[in-house]
């Protein structure tokens, strides 16, 4: 099938250049202690043979693999088709790793077996470090790996205590700005559709809503969804049963906000005249809903990039902060 199975080795280059393997290795790895004429002779030989170092051999001795794993949780499977969160994370991580010339190994653990594979793979040091785009519950794996000495960084403040550095966005700040906006624009009955309360994003966003409302004399009206569009639609219905006179709703995700808008439409409420709606995420689609959605933007791409950057620092042995929190920002459009 191929004539190229015979890839040139260091040995071959060394012979052609008339030097030793050690010298070729030095040149290839940019060691400064090789005299110029020899250096260029080696370069020429490398060029001529199209020599490319064998990664396996190199890893074997250096103990580095120059690749890092990004682990996506079980739910990614479901979430993938509709929610740009994971794609954006991947994209951000990829950008940063590309720049650092590291490989991205993607692991989706949608089964128990998968979880085990991840564990095996990562503890076996097949990668230099592990990134968790973990959003759900309390995952023991990151801490476990960290304890084994594997560099680890996760997205999202871990529930429970954890010594693993994380990168997250300022959920509370963003939500407070959103609710404040609602208050300032004269709304008095402000409800919320919260996210799942086993996820930090769900918990923190609800906390932000409560915190901001506490400063006013408004009472809180809460329904809980699971970040899907359907759950948003259902929750909205429930909210309106609880308080038919509510005039605003902060929805903890754009997808749920879309669902809520659908419900509001069906029930004949005008947006924002009858009910103002604010989402959270600022997905691309939210610009195209009717009306365009006022929402809290979280920098997901940047989250991915920062995630990768932190891990690269850990791998390099630098100190990293226990937490990096990226700012969120209220984007006012027509829905509130």
Partner DNA sequence: TCTCATCCTGAAAGCGCTCTCACGTGCGGC
Partner DNA sequence: GCCGCACGTGAGAGCGCTTTCAGGATGAGA
Binding site for its own copies (CB under 8 A): 1-5, 7, 52-57, 59-60, 65, 67, 76-77, 80-82, 84, 86-88, 90-91, 94-95, 98, 101, 103-108, 110, 114, 117, 120-121, 123-126, 148-150, 229, 258, 262, 283-285, 288, 290, 301
User: Angle of helix 21-28 relative to helix 10-17, nearest 10 degrees?
Assistant: 100
Q: Is 21 in the site for DNA (CB under 7 A)?
A: yes
Contact string (CB under 7 A) for DNA, positions 60-99, x = contact:
xxx-------------------------------------
125-151 b/e (C-beta count within 10 Å ≥ 16 → b): eebbbbbbbbbbeebebbbebbeeebb
Instruction: State the pairing for strand pair 248-251/276-281.
Output: parallel
Task: Count the Cβ atoms, other than its own, within 10 Å of residue 48.
Answer: 12
**Cβ-based nearer residue to DNA, 64 or 91:** 64
Q: Which does 270 bind (CB under 5 to 8 A by kind): its own copies, DNA, none?
A: none
Report angle CA 80, 84, 87 to the nearest 5 degrees.
75
Task: Report the C-alpha gap between 234 and 90 in whole angstroms.
Answer: 31
CB of 310 to its own copies, least distance (A): 15
Task: Report the C-alpha gap between 188 and 208 in whole angstroms.
Answer: 17
**Cβ-based nearer residue to DNA, 10 or 68:** 10
CB of 45 to DNA, least distance (A): 12
277-211-304-63 Cα dihedral, nearest 10 degrees? -160
CB of 44 to DNA, least distance (A): 14
Q: Is 111 in the site for DNA (CB under 7 A)?
A: no
Task: Report the C-alpha gap between 16 and 43 in whole angstroms.
Answer: 11
Q: Is 161 in the site for DNA (CB under 7 A)?
A: no
**Cβ-based nearer residue to DNA, 28 or 331:** 28
**Cβ-based nearer residue to its own copies, 160 or 317:** 317
**Cβ-based nearer residue to its own copies, 83 or 170:** 83
Q: Is 46 in the site for DNA (CB under 7 A)?
A: no
For residue 255 the two structure tokens come to 């997808």
Strand partners, 236: none
Which residue in the set 19, 93, 150, 213 belongs to the binding site for DNA (CB under 7 A)? 19
**Sign of the four-CA dihedral 19, 21, 26, 28:** positive
Task: Report the C-alpha gap between 228 and 250 in whole angstroms.
Answer: 15
Positions in the binding site for DNA (CB under 7 A): 7, 9-11, 18-23, 25-26, 28-29, 33-35, 37-39, 51, 53-54, 57-58, 60-62
């Amino acid at each position: 099938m191929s004539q190229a199975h015979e890839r040139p080795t260091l040995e071959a280059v060394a012979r052609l250049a008339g030097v030793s393997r050690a010298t070729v290795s030095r040149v290839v790895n940019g060691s400064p202690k090789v005299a110029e004429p020899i250096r260029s002779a080696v370069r020429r030989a490398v060029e001529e043979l199209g020599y490319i170092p064998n990664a396996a051999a190199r890893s074997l001795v250096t103990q580095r693999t120059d690749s890092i794993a990004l682990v996506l949780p079980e739910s990614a499977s479901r979430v993938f088709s509709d929610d740009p969160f994971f794609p954006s994370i991947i994209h951000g991580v990829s950008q940063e790793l590309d720049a650092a010339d590291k490989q991205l190994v993607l692991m989706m653990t949608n089964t128990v077996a998968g979880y085990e594979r991840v564990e095996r793979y990562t503890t076996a040091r097949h990668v230099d470090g592990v990134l968790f785009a973990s959003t759900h519950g309390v995952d023991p794996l990151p801490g476990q790996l960290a304890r084994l000495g594997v560099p680890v960084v996760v997205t999202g403040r871990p529930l429970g205590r954890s010594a693993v550095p994380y990168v997250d966005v300022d959920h509370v700040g963003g939500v407070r700005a959103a609710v404040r906006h609602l208050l300032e624009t004269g709304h008095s009955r402000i409800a919320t559709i919260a996210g799942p309360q086993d996820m930090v994003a769900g918990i923190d966003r609800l906390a932000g809503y409560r915190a901001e409302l506490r400063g006013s004399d408004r009472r809180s009206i809460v329904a809980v969804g699971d970040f899907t569009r359907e759950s948003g639609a259902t929750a909205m219905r429930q909210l309106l049963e609880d308080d038919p006179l509510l005039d605003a709703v902060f929805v903890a995700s754009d997808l749920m906000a879309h669902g809520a808008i659908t419900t509001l439409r069906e029930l004949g409420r005008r947006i924002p005249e009858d009910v103002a709606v604010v989402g959270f995420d600022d997905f691309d689609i939210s610009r195209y809903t009717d009306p365009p959605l006022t929402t809290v933007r979280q920098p997901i791409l940047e989250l991915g990039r920062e995630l990768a950057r932190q891990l690269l620092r850990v791998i390099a042995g630098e100190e990293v902060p226990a937490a990096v929190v990226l700012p969120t920002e209220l984007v006012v459009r027509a829905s509130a």
